Amino acid sequence: MARVLLIMPRLPQRLGTPYLGQLMVAASLRRAGHEVRALDLAARYGPTDDEALALCEAWGPDLVGMTLFTYSAARGYALARRLAAPGRTLVAGGPHATLCPDEPTRHGFDASVAGEGEHAAPALAHALDHGLPLEQIPGVRTRLGQGPASAPIADLDGLARPHEAYPCYDMSWYDAQGRSVVPGGLMTSRGCPARCTFCANYVTGRAYRYRSPADVVDEMVALRREHDIRSFPFWDDAFTALRPRLRALCAAITATPELRDTTWTCITPGNMVKPHDLELMRASGCVAINFGIESGDPTTLKLMQKGQRPEHVVAAVRAARSVGMTTIVNFMFGFPEEGTAELGATLRLMEDLAPATDFFNTRGVLVPFPGTAIYERWADTYALREWWLDPARVPLEPDGLDPLELARAQEVDPTLALDFFRYTPELRALIARCVRFKARHNQATLIRMGAGDQSADAA
């Protein structure tokens, strides 16, 4: 069986929990019988690149897999060059490897995996173990060729559970005292039927697939029993996209005695929440909803193909608040076609929604992630090609801020200074005002809550 080291390279902000997508890969490798260790260089108190090198020398993994975000790609490439050694195969996976599958092998990796990793990663480890070619595996590319595209995984119930991989991670990377397992969240569905032009979720894609309520409840009960986890962030792209499944899942959670003292939160596009479902969600433990709204201007919403109008979502946010949920509302700024009139409409909507909103998402200046429709449309006009390889365009954030200090730092969005879309001075000033408005609102909420709540972080 292969020895596999999974690495999460450093990101601009520190992670407070192991990254769920990598836990899924680690769990599937363990289930297949491989020996797996992980190093989270992005974690709040995580190890360094030098420690990754030292572990590779000492332990001698056959396969080193890295989860690449666009924001961590350049650091991942630099690390891959340092880790390269005979008998060690370097594999890139994750959102960025999916969006730019040919890039990692040009920057020190032996192979890249596009798409979900639960089948590809064990297949790679098996192939290495048995001396088989890697480039025939679905989703895999090497310098020698590439396998067929991998299909979205249909049977999500059959997959290994993320918590099966907790032993691979050192919890003191996330918690200064190393006390306990930090809940990393779970996915009850994958994919989103919407097609927002800025969205980079090409791993989970557009095909909406979901787990059976019984399987989700079983995972929640296991987390409750084995790790005493009582609050569950559901990281699905569009949790409420399908009403019958939403209602069945809420009913299953409510009917499970062991989950009576647990709560959950979810993310969903604003127009996919129906006010009359909120009571049911609340009764089954939903304490917060993260709504994607993005703009207050109908033309901007249309151009970003969000498929919703501002009035669709306002009622849902207010209704969530009225049933006692924490509301987190997402807005973005700086779309290339957006002028001061359009942004002004967004600012007005934020002001209007503020009384019903606990937290706004932090910052929100548009980042043109590769592979997105926005990137493809504007890359040449604004010289955006491969911006992520320039370290100056991916600045690291200061570490160790408490929630209130963080909310203060978030009055400024470093992305605005990067000026991807060459904003006019008037537009830049208005974007800065919108960012500040959200940060100050969040600070006020934190102060009201006693500054101990972590919800703004999660937003």
Q: Which chain residues interact with ligand SF4 by CB under 6 A? A: 192, 194-196, 199, 201, 237-238, 269, 292
Cβ-based nearer residue to ligand SF4, 237 or 297: 237
* CB of 198 vs ligand SF4, minimal distance in Å: 7
Is 456:362 a contact under the CB 8 Å cutoff? yes
Cβ-based nearer residue to ligand SF4, 194 or 314: 194
Interacting partner of 13 out of ligand SF4, ligand B12, none (Cβ under 5 to 8 A depending on kind): ligand B12
DSSP 8-class letter at 92: E
Collapse the DSSP code of 259 into the 3-class scheme (helix H, G, I; strand E, B; otherwise coil) and give the result: helix
Cβ-based nearer residue to ligand B12, 113 or 317: 113
Cβ-based nearer residue to ligand SF4, 67 or 201: 201
* CB of 241 vs ligand SF4, minimal distance in Å: 9
* CB of 115 vs ligand SF4, minimal distance in Å: 16
* CB of 178 vs ligand SF4, minimal distance in Å: 34
- Tell me, what amino acid is at 417? A
Cβ-based nearer residue to ligand B12, 184 or 285: 184
Interacting partner of 24 out of ligand SF4, ligand B12, none (Cβ under 5 to 8 A depending on kind): ligand B12
Interacting partner of 96 out of ligand B12, ligand SF4, none (Cβ under 5 to 8 A depending on kind): ligand B12
- Please report, as ranges, the residues that interact with ligand B12 according to CB under 6 A: 11-13, 15, 17-22, 24-25, 65, 67, 69-71, 91, 93-96, 98-99, 113, 116-118, 120-121, 184-185, 187, 190, 199-201, 203-204, 235, 237, 369
Give the per-residue SS3 of 356-386: HCCEECCCCECCCCCCCHHHHHHCCCCCCCC
Cβ-based nearer residue to ligand B12, 7 or 353: 7
* CB of 345 vs ligand SF4, minimal distance in Å: 19
Cα-based angle 428, 342, 195 (whole degrees, multiple of 5)? 100
CA 59/CA 54 separation, integer angstroms: 8
CA 99/CA 102 separation, integer angstroms: 9
* CB of 428 vs ligand SF4, minimal distance in Å: 24
Interacting partner of 196 out of ligand B12, ligand SF4, none (Cβ under 5 to 8 A depending on kind): ligand SF4
* CB of 276 vs ligand B12, minimal distance in Å: 26
Q: Which residues pair with 67 in a beta bridge?
A: 93
**Look-up of token digits 């390279």:** 9
Q: Which residues contact 79 (CB under 8 A, 6 or more apart)?
A: 7, 9, 41, 49, 52, 66
- Helices 20-31 and 120-130 cross at an angle (nearest 10°) of 40
DSSP 272-287: G--GGGHHHHHHTTEE
Cβ-based nearer residue to ligand SF4, 194 or 316: 194
Is 258:290 a contact under the CB 8 Å cutoff? no
